[in-house]
Amino acid sequence: MGQSSEFKGWHDDFVLETREKIDSAEPLSGREVAKIIENLYGRLPPDIGCHLAESNVVLTLSGMKGMTQFYVEASAPSDAERIKSSISQLNDWLIQHQPELQFVPARSPRANVEGRQLLSVGVNNLRGYERASRLSKLPGVRPFDSQEGFTGLGQWMADCGEGLRKAQVSGALPKDYSIGDIEAGLYFGYPDQAILDRVDQVAKRGGGMEGLQDSVIPFTGVHRETDPNFEFYPEHAKAPEVKDYELKAGTVLRDFYFSPSYKKLSADSHFRELRAKEDYDKTRG
């Protein structure tokens, strides 16, 4: 499936317009993200590009999150290679124009519970990692500078893992807390309190939702997607960092879904057809 001709040739001036905010690691607005997605959609086959409008991806491209993922159907053996090739071409363009972004396809698709073959595609934003590192007060987490690039990101991740383990040895973190789960929460941009509540619940009760409450991020669920909400103990529902995240993320999503760029995207026949399939297919996920 080729690129949608309606979105080919979209000019790149917007990349320069947002460079100052990109360099500061502040989250972009929903309208700014919508323009980026309008551009990226024109560089991808529509069956991949339609996933860019999912709230988790929108929040990651804004810099609210360091990473997320979406899933593309790969029912035929050749589908996975086609998806990987398209992502590789996009990454080549991103290196030159928006080097803070990177898409990472999985090695091979996996079957869901209904047998549907889905290939996961990771989305990474250096600004999202920087924002998370600046806001976090978790022991052992040092600040990350997005200007260090993806090579620097790998070193920062390694340093965080080592720092968190040292904090555990020193008693700054409980010894039964999962370092891997703390790292994941940090990469996903979750507030410290939510990260600590989740790992505490897993350590004490083995996981699930017992004793936890979901965040309420407005304007999620417009499309079927990986849920961007997170969990915490009910007594922390009004914690400033939790409420601040819900408000900022909801504002980004509201401005995205009401933007002229998203309205243009949602009018594209390929986008509408493919999103309808994704949003109403009961075997999805």
Distance CA 62, CA 33 (A): 6
Nearest partner of 121 among 108, 133, 132, judged by Cα: 108
Predicted local distance difference test score (pLDDT) of residue 20 = 47
Predicted local distance difference test score (pLDDT) of residue 180 = 98
Q: The dihedral of CA 195, 199, 201, 206: what is its sign?
A: positive
Distance CA 62, CA 280 (A): 26
Beta-strand relationship, 231-232 and 110-111: unpaired
CA distances from 108 to 69, 73, 118 (A): 14, 11, 9
Distance CA 265, CA 130 (A): 29
3-class secondary-structure state, position 76:
coil
Predicted local distance difference test score (pLDDT) of residue 113 = 64
Predicted local distance difference test score (pLDDT) of residue 242 = 97
Q: Give the distance, in angstroms, between the CA of residue 202 and the centroid of all CA atoms in the same chain.
A: 23
How many CA atoms does the CB half-sphere of 103 hold within 13 Å?
A: 29
Bridge partners of residue 104, in order along the sequence: 122
Predicted local distance difference test score (pLDDT) of residue 208 = 87
Predicted local distance difference test score (pLDDT) of residue 271 = 94
Give the residue ranges of the chain where pLDDT is below 50.
1-23, 282-285
Predicted local distance difference test score (pLDDT) of residue 131 = 96
Look up the pTM and report it: 0.89
